[in-house]
Amino acid sequence: MFKEVKKFEYITIAEAREIMERIAKERQEKAELLFETRRALRHLRNFSKMSAEKAKKLVEELKKLPQVDRDDLAVKIADLMPRVADEVRIIYSKERNLTNEEIEQILEVVNKYRE
């Protein structure tokens, strides 16, 4: 049996954690969670850096910047929460070179959401 992708959307690790916790709660009521489910949930909890709501707001604010012109870049930045310019450069290493001013704009937005 094959499944068809009806809708595709980039989501942050924080949003994935929220979805996975809801699924895990529903499944726990019926039976014990599978190893893979427990492992995925633990990974999401370990690497999620903020609430899903804050992550969505951060992605939306990042997408307003002209240098963050794609959803996947905004989500990647929100997931990694870069602290220094070199971390931003690594995210963009295959895309294009950013000016120092563009990098600073990204870091300013990210720092507003840092917990």
Q: What is the pLDDT of residues 6-41, one digit of tens each?
A: 888 999 999 999 999 998 898 888 888 888 888 999
What pLDDT score does 1 carry? 64
Buried b (16+ CB within 10 A) or exposed e, 64-96: ebebbeeeebbbbbbbbbbeeeebbeebbeeee
Report domain extents, the chain: 13-47, 52-112
Share of the chain above pLDDT 90, in %: 71
CATH of domain 52-112: 1.10.150
